[in-house]
């Protein structure tokens, strides 16, 4: 059973052939999401108005 599973997984992995456009889009989306999250967290911690708007309590 384990050998069949390993063979199945190895066959499926060999079929995955990402092209450079897909890799660039996924990498760009990941970096963009990371930057957006960092900006949101820093504004939430630094700006009292944004903190109060989101949480409902003053900083």
Q: Give domain limits for the chain.
A: 24-59
Alpha helix (H) residue ranges in 1-59: 2-15, 20-46, 48-55
Quick one: pLDDT band at residue 43, thresholds 50, 70, 90? very high
d(C-alpha 59, C-alpha 54), whole Å: 11
Quick one: pLDDT band at residue 1, thresholds 50, 70, 90? confident
Q: What is the pLDDT of residue 58?
A: 79
Any idea how long the chain is? Answer: 59
Higher pLDDT, 8 or 55: 55
Does the reported pTM lie above 0.85? no
Contact 52, 58 (CB under 8 A): yes
Contact 52, 43 (CB under 8 A): no
Higher pLDDT, 34 or 16: 34
d(C-alpha 15, C-alpha 32), whole Å: 28
Place of tokens 């079929």: 15
């Amino acid at each position: 059973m384990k050998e069949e599973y390993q063979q199945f997984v190895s066959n499926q992995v060999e079929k995955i052939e990402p092209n450079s456009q897909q890799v660039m889009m996924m990498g760009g989306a990941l970096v963009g999401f990371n930057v957006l999250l960092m900006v949101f967290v820093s504004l939430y911690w630094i700006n009292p108005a944004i903190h109060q708007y989101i949480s409902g309590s003053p900083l």
